[in-house]
Structure 1
């Protein structure tokens, strides 16, 4: 297994800080949160998928 100190921050690539894992700093954690809130991490959908029908009880 990889040691915790060997893990890299997903934003900048620096070693992760123990209290902020997986980030190295509060700034990188905030950058990641902003990306989530602004929709940068959205999963693209395909328009050619048929609609899902739900059963009614």
Structure 2
């Protein structure tokens, strides 16, 4: 089995990772929101639409 972060062989002490560093990198991705689980909750969809609209309105090259 290979480490999902760096692809080196795993270490049984840190499985499925090869080291504490890779385990910590993975944990950091979870904590900062890099990994996300999609939701079908209508409230989440509304928030996504609002976020996209804000991003579009902040673009200086947007059409009028």
Q: Given the two structures, how large is their TM-score scaled by the length of structure 1? A: 0.65
The CA deviation at 1:40 is 0.4
RMSD over equivalenced CA pairs, Å: 1.6
Unmatched tracts of structure 1, length 5 or more: 1-6, 49-57
| More helix as a share of residues | 2
Once the two structures are superposed, residues 13-54 of structure 1 have per-residue CA deviations (whole angstroms, 9 ceiling, x without a partner) of: 000001100000000000000000001001244638xxxxxx
Q: Given the two structures, how large is their TM-score scaled by the length of structure 2? A: 0.59
Q: Which has the higher contact order (CA 8 A, sep 6+)?
A: 1
Measured in 2, the distance between the counterparts of 1:13 and 1:40 equals: 19
After TM superposition, list the pairs within 5 Å mapping 1:13-32 onto structure 2: 13-32=7-26
Deviating beyond 6 angstroms after TM superposition, the runs of 4 or more aligned structure 1 residues are: none
